[in-house]
Amino acid sequence: GVILISPKTQELKKILPVLNSKKIPSVCINHNGTDCGISSVMSDNATCFEKFLYHCLNRLDIKKIAYLGNSPERYDQKQRLDTYTGFIRQNNLQCDKNSILTTDTSDSKVTKWLSKIFTSAYRPDLLISGSIPHAQTVLAWCTEQKISIAIDFYLAAFDDPGYYSVISPSITCIQQDLNQLGKKAAEVLMRIITEKHRKVYTEIIPMKISFRESTDNKYLIKESA
């Protein structure tokens, strides 16, 4: 079997028919963030935000969303919230007032809110954070509570709204490390090898590595194939 790693989705798509024709079991790992449907959006923050939500709903099983906002004085806060609530209505998603936190948020307020929503009937499938610091608080809290971002819910964070850095959110969907990704690739490859009467011999595992110097953190980001 073969495990391929490439930043070029189009190149991977070209090689897949060749691998299939030769019946070579293979797993392709795509680490190019530009194919996630976000980075081409060079417009205002709310539009990018909406595009990202649409992308999540098309790729992932998202039913319930929670939103952790910025301080209310931020110029784009109302625009974001309007986009968020409008998207909820249009797509018949479940949401209640307790799943939105838009006031000025201290760490203690955020953790109290997290405790509330994760023990309620509206436990989110996707949590959207309006800032990287808030997302880091979420990550720390989830680690303490043994809640897995890779399994229990998805986390998205937008930073520096209105600027280009919002185009590639530094946390998108699933956080995992390289060992986990390698293990998954090996497991998928072994499943392909052992399956009988298989017509397609390849699978793609898209992911992206994103590094932000401002937070001094590295996130490995995987999209659902």
pLDDT in tens, 112-152: 999 998 988 778 887 877 766 777 788 788 889 988 765 68
Distances (CA, A) of 14 to 50, 81, 202: 31, 41, 12
Which residue reads 């390698």 in tokens? 182
∠ CA 64-53-204, nearest 5°, is 100
Which residue reads 């499938």 in tokens? 125
Supply the pLDDT for residue 115.
92
Using CA atoms, how far apart are residues 141 and 23, in angstroms rounded to an integer? Answer: 45
64, β-bridge pairs: 94
Per the CB < 8 A criterion, the answer to whether 88 and 95 are in contact is: yes
One-letter amino acid of 30: N
> Residue 209 in 3-state DSSP?
strand
**Within the chain, where are the H helices?**
9-21, 45-59, 77-90, 107-117, 132-145, 178-194
One-letter amino acid of 220: L
pLDDT tens digits, one per residue of 154-165: 776 665 433 222
Distances (CA, A) of 162 to 21, 36, 48, 70, 170: 47, 19, 9, 13, 15
Mean pLDDT, the chain, whole residue set: 61
Per the CB < 8 A criterion, the answer to whether 105 and 141 are in contact is: no
The residues of the chain that CATH labels 3.40.50.2300 are 41-171
Mean pLDDT, range 45-67, rounded to an integer: 61
* Cβ-based burial of 51 (10 A; exposed 0-12, middle 13-18, buried ≥19): middle
How many residues can be counted in the chain? 225
Which residue reads 């709903």 in tokens? 57
Considering the domain 41-171, what is its CATH architecture?
A: 3-Layer(aba) Sandwich (3.40)
Supply the pLDDT for residue 185.
66
The answer to pTM > 0.85 is no
